[in-house]
Amino acid sequence: MTIQQQTKTLSHFINGNKTKGTSGSYADVYNPSTGEVIAQVPLASREEVKQAIQFAKTAFPAWKKTSIGKRVEVLHRFRQLLVERQDELIQVICEESGKTKEDAKGEIIRGIESVDMAISAPQLLKGEYSVNVGGDINAFSAKAPLGVVATIAPFNFPVMVPLAITSMAVAVGNAVILKPSERVPHSALLLSELWQEAGLPDGIWTVINGDKEAVNELLANKDIQAISFVGSTPVAEYIYHTGTKHNKRVAAFGGGKNFMIVMPDANLEQTANAFLGAAYGAASQRCMAISGAIVVGEDTEKRFTEIVKEKVLNLKIGSFQEANIDFGPVITQQAKDTIIQYIDGAVAEGANLVTDGRNPSICETSKGFYLGPTLLNQVTPDMKIFKEEVFGPARIIVGVETLQEAIDLINDHELGNGVTMFTSSGRAARQFQEEIEVGMVGINVPIPIPVGYHNFGGWKRSKFGEGHMFGPDQARFFTKAKTISERWPDEEEDTTSSFAFPSNSDTNIQ
């Protein structure tokens, strides 16, 4: 079913039911490829969020008690449904986010990787056991689910981010409340159908649509134990401070400014191809998109810029319904205006426009939120376009003289999500890998996003809190440790009270 055929007014998904919003407040949802409003999404009141949390809280104990084997069976069925209904998912992602079909498919594949990781929860939940730690006492540690946990998601991965976070949370026994981006609510609602069809009990997966008001209730509500947030850095910082103030476990993943260092010994043709896809794919609306190249050496910079320019001029933008499109529109008109302001500002500050994507020809015939690929060089670190994340297809080239200068520039940047370097020198790569202050590092890899069984997360102001997405760390984030010491004395055994602190030795301290 395509979005256009669905009812215009969307619902929440609470306790296994599509539930109409009662707040009276709605937001328009757009098809960015045409600029048309395709639905209205209800924005939940705090009262509606409270009710949803109560349903989740009621459902939690039974799910916690369900054997891990049975929980994982649900995930297996869910995975199967993701595969079987991938075309429907692709259509929905494309219509509400503007991604190309190929890109949407890649997002689903990466999402399924997270489900696969969650299916390994039995392995990750195995505790530790020590026999006879003293006086016939056995000690073991177990991992217990937290209870009701919340996920607040961004618009740019409508399926992957919800899957990346919630699959493990569900598998280890929590009840999950997802607050998707109000720009892409259809994908989360479709995932609800799949969870239900897979046999997940009512109340274990909830979708509450909304904006800041709904989020504020999740942050303050005493029955929410943990918050996993993915979005922009200012909101991530707010979520982290507010959530922890209310004693919640919080992992808040923020924005990125991800550079590609280009060394003089790199194969420039290969590097330019890598740059192109990593920088402009998904209209640069990826937290791991390459934001710019830092090119070492004047001559290399000149040659690299020429090669990239030629390739950028051949990129094709358009609707996901057309064939051979490189990337689609940005998410809203407002996002488009913001990106144009960054380009205008950079030019005013002295940057040089190598290619100008501000007025692409497609806008003569379409009302979609399109921007062509913009490339700027002669960019310096004091410019706003260098300092801030630009979430759209305006990319930069910065020239430096040495590798050390490139590393220092990146280390001084306040964001540290991803970084990559293209070189044929193992020695330079080693220096880069050891010295760089960024969470996810690539060497001759365009986008260094880790696979689902490795931890994902940036450094500095790209992540607040200690948890990671994906990987074994996620199972730790969504569980708490309990350590049990047990002893089974004989009925006949003589016992006395001991007033000394329990210890396992009667020898003198040496």
Using CB under 6 A as the criterion, which residues of the chain lie in contact with ligand NAD when the complex forms? 152-157, 161, 179, 181-182, 211-212, 215, 230-232, 235, 238, 253-256, 287, 389, 391, 417, 458, 462
E strands along 122-223, which residues?
A: 128-134, 137-145, 148-152, 175-179, 205-207
Residue of 287, 362, 390, 415 marked active site: 287
Instruction: Provide the minimum distance between the beta carbon of 64 and ligand NAD in the complex, in angstroms, as a whole number.
Output: 27
- Those residues whose C-beta lies under 8 Å from the C-beta of residue 377, and which sit 6 or more positions away, are 301, 305, 351, 352, 354, 396, 397, 398, 399
Backbone angles phi, psi at 148, to 5 degrees: -95, 125
Region of residue 471 (left: phi > 0; alpha: psi -120 to 50; beta: else): left
Pick the closer one to ligand NAD by CB: 243 or 357: 243
Pick the closer one to ligand NAD by CB: 238 or 280: 238
Instruction: Provide the minimum distance between the beta carbon of 1 and ligand NAD in the complex, in angstroms, as a whole number.
Output: 24
Instruction: Provide the minimum distance between the beta carbon of 247 and ligand NAD in the complex, in angstroms, as a whole number.
Output: 18
Q: Where are the alpha helices (DSSP H) in 324-419?
A: 333-348, 384-387, 403-412
| Rounded Cα distance, 356 and 358, in Å | 6
Tokens 């950028």 identify what position? 312
What is the sign of the dihedral through the CA atoms of 296, 299, 302 and 308? Answer: negative
Pick the closer one to ligand NAD by CB: 208 or 397: 208
Instruction: Provide the minimum distance between the beta carbon of 388 and ligand NAD in the complex, in angstroms, as a whole number.
Output: 10
Pick the closer one to ligand NAD by CB: 208 or 351: 208
Distance of CA 366 to the CA centre of its chain: 30
- Those residues whose C-beta lies under 8 Å from the C-beta of residue 242, and which sit 6 or more positions away, are 216, 219, 220
Going from the C-alpha of 347 to that of each of 285, 312, 338, 342, 379, the distances in angstroms are 22, 19, 14, 9, 9
Instruction: Provide the minimum distance between the beta carbon of 461 and ligand NAD in the complex, in angstroms, as a whole number.
Output: 11
Pick the closer one to ligand NAD by CB: 157 or 422: 157
Q: Does residue 287 have an active-site annotation? A: yes
Nearest of 414, 440, 444 to residue 429 by alpha carbon: 444
Work out the burial of residue 396: count CB atoms within 10 Å of its CB; fewer than 13 is exposed, 13-18 middle, 19 or more buried.
buried
Pick the closer one to ligand NAD by CB: 241 or 430: 241
Pick the closer one to ligand NAD by CB: 173 or 243: 243
Instruction: Give the nearest residue (CB) to ligand NAD.
Output: 231
Pick the closer one to ligand NAD by CB: 100 or 156: 156
Nearest of 184, 172, 274 to residue 231 by alpha carbon: 184
* Angle, vertex CA 104, rays to CA 99 and CA 105, nearest 5: 150
Instruction: Provide the minimum distance between the beta carbon of 180 and ligand NAD in the complex, in angstroms, as a whole number.
Output: 6
> Could you write out the three-class secondary structure of 64-106?
HHCCHHHHHHHHHHHHHHHHHCHHHHHHHHHHHHCCCHHHHHH
Instruction: Provide the minimum distance between the beta carbon of 355 and ligand NAD in the complex, in angstroms, as a whole number.
Output: 23
Instruction: Provide the minimum distance between the beta carbon of 179 and ligand NAD in the complex, in angstroms, as a whole number.
Output: 6
Q: Which structure tokens are listed for 116?
A: 């696969």
| Rounded Cα distance, 47 and 393, in Å | 39
| Rounded Cα distance, 157 and 111, in Å | 9
Name the residues annotated as catalytic: 287
